[in-house]
């Protein structure tokens, strides 16, 4: 059990390409932290540097308070689960799981005890004699986790462990990973490009882009209060709508967001002071699809009516996604399936303005 801390961590490849550009991160003991971002954002490189599989160009990595920059992977007391499982094909499941223990000179009884314990946690007791080729994708992933668990390391590292699984199994394994973490409580760093995985698994999510950390925080915090346009767009599916808009003074000291096509919505009173310095500027108006609902749900404050012509509707069962355009920008809303949304027909929607965001186009910062 241990904390992991990254200080000004830089990875520069030959030719001067910087994959990781000086990131700082503190991961608490027993915490489950997910690094998420698009491919090439530096998340896997960061994980591999923690593992010791990638050399550090500059900066410092400490595990459990000890700087491990120059310590080889085997002495860092970490365990890693790979995307393609990386099981040893010529060994049985038992040998795969116990390989690390054997190399470290554990007694036969201790190895058996630990393997049996890991097999029990993961429900792979019957598979111990099989070779990896005789296992399904989900079983292989469990074995790979077993290999990590038996070592009882300071830190678990997961490198996109669910990417090779089909959608259904991915959801199931996601739950299992969370259960395993709740059982063994080992500090975990998990890399994924899937924001749903990040949201569901993490105690804290680290959103990375272009080698820097955009934002760190608990999943709901990131969802509700994204710090940058990138986080706002990356977290949440369907993505947050970002509509070019102009913030203008309205009568009585209020503010209005002009969306184009003559549409405008009022800024809630409690936000007026925050946004006042940005009045009369061109900004992006950000609002999540679930905060653009049918107008019949108007039973709360801060709902602004918005009547638009729907282009496409997508019934999802529990809700219906409606797509329309405002001044050429595609916008998505979520309405009740019973609300009678129909393509090509005008519909009265309501924007839940207490969930609005205003984004500075230049800096990409959420105001």
Partner 1 sequence: MAEAAVANRDYPRVYGKVGSLHRERAWALRWAYVSLILASIIFLAPPFYMLVTSIKTNVEMADQSLNPWIVRNPTLEHYWAILSNPIFLTFFKNSIIVTILVVSVTMVISVLAAFALSRMRFWGSQVLATGVFLTYLVPDTLLFIPLYQIVGGLGLLNSIWGLVLVYPTLTVPFCTWIMIGYFASIPKELDEAALIDGATWPQMLTKIFIPVALPGIIAATIFAFTVSWAAFVYPTAFITRPDQMPLTIGIVSQLVRGDTFAWGQIMSGALIAALPPVVVYVFLMDYYIAGLTAGATKG
Complete edge-to-edge strand list for the sheet that includes strand 66-67: 18-27, 4-12, 58-63, 66-67
Q: State which of positions 86-105 bind partner 1 (CB under 8 A).
A: 86-90, 99-100, 103-104
What the block records as the tokens of 22 is: 């000086």
**Beta carbon nearer to partner 1, 85 or 285:** 85
**Beta carbon nearer to partner 1, 85 or 234:** 85
Q: Name the minimum Å distance from CB 96 to partner 1.
A: 9
Q: State which of positions 150-209 bind partner 1 (CB under 8 A).
A: 151
Q: Name the minimum Å distance from CB 179 to partner 1.
A: 23
Q: State which of positions 126-155 bind partner 1 (CB under 8 A).
A: 131-133, 147, 151
Q: Cα angle vertex 29, ends 27, 30, to 5°? A: 105
**Beta carbon nearer to partner 1, 72 or 362:** 72
| Rg of the chain, C-alpha, whole Å | 25
106 binds partner 1 (CB under 8 A): no
**Beta carbon nearer to partner 1, 156 or 285:** 156
* 3-state DSSP assignment of residue 7: strand
**Beta carbon nearer to partner 1, 103 or 316:** 103
Q: Name the minimum Å distance from CB 83 to partner 1.
A: 8
What the block records as the tokens of 89 is: 């094909």
Q: Name the minimum Å distance from CB 86 to partner 1.
A: 4
Checking 21-25 for CB contacts under 8 A at 24+ apart, the result is 21/210, 21/211, 21/212, 22/58, 22/59, 22/212, 23/208, 23/211, 23/212, 23/213, 24/213, 25/206, 25/213, 25/216
**Beta carbon nearer to partner 1, 72 or 251:** 72
Q: Name the minimum Å distance from CB 43 to partner 1.
A: 17
Q: State which of positions 46-85 bind partner 1 (CB under 8 A).
A: 51-53, 72-74, 78-80, 82-85
**Beta carbon nearer to partner 1, 154 or 357:** 154
* Torsion region of 46: left, alpha or beta (phi above 0 gives left; psi -120 to 50 gives alpha): alpha
Q: Name the minimum Å distance from CB 144 to partner 1.
A: 8
Could you give the maximum distance between any two Cα atoms of the chain, in Å?
Answer: 80
Q: Name the minimum Å distance from CB 274 to partner 1.
A: 48
Q: Name the minimum Å distance from CB 21 to partner 1.
A: 24
* Torsion region of 123: left, alpha or beta (phi above 0 gives left; psi -120 to 50 gives alpha): left
**Beta carbon nearer to partner 1, 51 or 199:** 51
**Beta carbon nearer to partner 1, 75 or 299:** 75
DSSP summary character for residue 341: -
Q: Is the dihedral of CA 61, 196, 203, 334 positive or negative?
A: positive
Binding-site size, partner 1 (CB under 8 A): 27
Cβ-contact 303, 291 below 8 angstroms: no
Of 233, 260, 232, nearest to 246 by C-alpha is 260
| CA distances to 77, 99, 165, 232 from 92, in Å | 24, 10, 21, 45
CA dihedral 32, 36, 42, 44 (to 10 degrees): 60
Q: Name the minimum Å distance from CB 326 to partner 1.
A: 38
In the 3-class helix/strand/coil scheme, how is 54-74 assigned residue by residue?
Answer: CCCCEEEEEECCEECCCCCHH
Q: Which residues bind partner 1 (CB under 8 A)?
A: 51-53, 72-74, 78-80, 82-90, 99-100, 103-104, 131-133, 147, 151
């Amino acid at each position: 059990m241990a904390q992991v801390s990254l200080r000004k961590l830089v990875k520069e490849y030959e030719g001067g390409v910087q994959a990781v550009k000086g990131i700082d991160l503190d991961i608490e003991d027993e915490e489950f932290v997910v690094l998420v971002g698009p491919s090439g954002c530096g998340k896997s490189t960061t994980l591999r540097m923690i593992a010791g599989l990638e050399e550090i160009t500059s900066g410092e990595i400490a595990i459990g308070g000890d700087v491990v920059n120059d310590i080889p992977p085997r002495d860092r007391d970490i365990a890693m689960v790979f995307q393609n499982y990386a099981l040893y094909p010529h060994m049985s499941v038992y040998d795969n799981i116990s390989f690390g223990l054997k190399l470290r000179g554990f007694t036969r009884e201790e190895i058996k005890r630990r393997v049996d314990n890991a097999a029990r946690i993961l429900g792979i007791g019957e598979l111990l004699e099989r070779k990896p080729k005789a296992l399904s994708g989900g079983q292989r992933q469990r074995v790979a986790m077993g290999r990590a668990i038996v070592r009882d390391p300071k830190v678990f590292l997961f490198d996109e462990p669910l990417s090779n699984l089909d959608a259904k199994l991915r959801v199931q394994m996601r739950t299992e990973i969370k259960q395993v973490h709740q059982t063994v409580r080992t500090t975990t760093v998990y890399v994924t490009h899937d924001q749903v995985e990040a949201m569901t698994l993490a105690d804290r999510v680290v959103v990375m882009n272009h080698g820097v950390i955009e934002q760190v925080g608990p999943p709901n915090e990131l969802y509700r209060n994204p710090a940058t346009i990138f986080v706002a767009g990356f977290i949440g599916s369907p993505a947050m709508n970002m509509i070019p808009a102009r913030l203008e003074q309205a009568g009585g000291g209020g503010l209005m967001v002009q969306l184009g096509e003559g549409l405008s919505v009022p800024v809630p009173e409690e936000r007026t002071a925050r946004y006042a310095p940005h009045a009369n500027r061109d900004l992006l108006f950000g609002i999540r699809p679930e905060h653009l609902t049918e107008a019949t749900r108007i039973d709360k404050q801060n709902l602004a009516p918005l009547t638009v012509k729907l282009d496409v509707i997508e019934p999802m069962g529990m809700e219906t996604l409606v797509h329309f355009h405002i001044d050429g920008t595609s916008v998505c809303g979520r309405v009740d399936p019973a609300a009678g949304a129909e393509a090509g027909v005008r519909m009265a929607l309501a924007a839940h303005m207490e969930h609005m965001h205003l984004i500075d186009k230049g800096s990409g910062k959420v105001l």
